Chain A
Amino acid sequence: MKKALWMISVLAAIGLICGLSLSSVYRYAAPLIAENKKRALEESIYKVLQDIARYEVIEKEGLVIYAGIEADGDIAGYAFMAKGAGYQGEISVIFGIGAELDKLKGIEVLESLETPGLGGKITDAGFKDQFKGLSTLPEIGYVKSHSPENDNEVQAISGATISTRSIVAILNDGISKMRDALKR
């Protein structure tokens, strides 16, 4: 009985000390972590919308849309974060689209687990740049083994059609969600 009591009190003491020290470390780290996340998001918004002076957060129907505003106060376009299944895991992409909701301004891949060297190329500038100025009407498509002929098509990454298809599907889905939300 005495032994059991001793075991319980030692474990409780260890747990208490560890808990207290962790909470103080957390109090120091939490604001820094939140700031890092915010900065990463902000950087990507400025990257996909280009040449904007500031941005505003619009919350509509549970969606968070970032409206990029130019120096003279006009809306330059909107940025939206979309997620979906990739080849190996979830891909999250942020894209910027013009104020008319017709042409993409740029995309950034925030998170992905695609195969390095194949699907991993979705994060390469060469692939992402294809989306600059791409028409989203009626929707984005992709072509294989030849160069795109229409202004709403990108060239698929060779050996990684599934990753390309995933990105295109995520973007189309995100764009239509955003359009619906902004129309209302």
Chain B
Amino acid sequence: MKTVSLYDEFLKGLWRQNPIFKQVLAMCPTLAVTNSAENGLAMGLAVVFVLVSSSAIVSIFRRFIPHEVRIAAYTVIIASFVTVADLFLAAKFPALSKALGPYVPLIVVNCIILGRAEAFASKNPVARSILDALGMGFGFTLSLLMLASIRELLGSGTLFGIRMLGAWFEPWVIMVLPAGAFITLGLLIGLINMLARIKGKEKVGCCK
């Protein structure tokens, strides 16, 4: 198990075990906030912060937390970091905080975070846990950004609020509505599975 290189520990979250396209976790924020690239990026970075901090803390205290109450302990730790992120956004970026609405507090129940605490950080040393969390976090952020950029471009003709397509373009309103999220995500997962099949013998899985 310890044969995995540190480099690989980081990299696996970006592609091979990408939390959205391969593990298909955390669908609620993925579908809900990706109607503009800015929202997608902000949600992704908030998750990176919570994921890295809670993985580090869980890993540091992994020997002290009794097995029977581990989920309760992880949840309290995660909820604290989420509240910090929520307060920080509301204090420093009020517009973003308003746009993301209830989805920031909902990071508490984001299954990537509890999943990494349970499947990885509680069994691995701190450095590896942080690398794993960074990889998963950036994998999540990049996937969200990809989804959100496609939806914003087609749904509003803009990217990060800047007009990309000329006046000839009639925005496909459905892309910024919930249905557009499902359609885009489905097509992207299909595309990525196809790429993986062409490359051959890719294995899907979240736990070692």
Contact = CB atoms under 8 A, between A and B. Distances in A.
Contacts of A116: 35, 155-156, 173, 176-177
B91 A118 contact: no
Nearest to B84: A25
Interface in A23-42: 25-26, 28-29, 32-33, 36-37, 40
A157 to B, nearest CB: 13
Contacts of B77: 14, 18
B73 A14 contact: yes
Interface string B70-99: 001100110110011001101110100000
Interface string B133-159: 000000000000000000000011000
Contacts of A6: 66
A116 B64 CA distance: 49
Nearest to A37: B94
Contact of B73 (A11, A21, A26): A11
Chain A at the B interface: mostly helix, strand, loop or mixed? helix
B91 A18 contact: no
A36 B90 contact: yes
Interface in A1-23: 3, 6-7, 10-11, 14-15, 18, 21-22
A131 to B, nearest CB: 23
Interface residues of B, number: 27
A3 B67 CA distance: 11
B87 A33 contact: yes
B84 A22 contact: yes
Contacts of A25: 83-84, 87-88
Contacts of B73: 10-11, 14
Chain B at the A interface: mostly helix, strand, loop or mixed? helix
Contacts of A15: 76
Contacts of B88: 25, 29
A22 B66 contact: no
A10 B64 contact: yes
B176 A36 contact: no
Nearest to B93: A36
B94 A7 contact: no
A3 B69 CA distance: 11
Interface string A25-62: 11011001100110010000000000000000000000
A25 B65 CA distance: 25
Contacts of A22: 80, 83-84
Given A18-B80, A115-B173, A117-B176, 16 more contacts: A6-B66, A7-B69, A10-B64, A11-B69, A11-B72, A11-B76, A14-B65, A18-B79, A26-B87, A32-B91, A32-B92, A33-B91, A36-B90, A116-B155, A116-B156, A118-B173
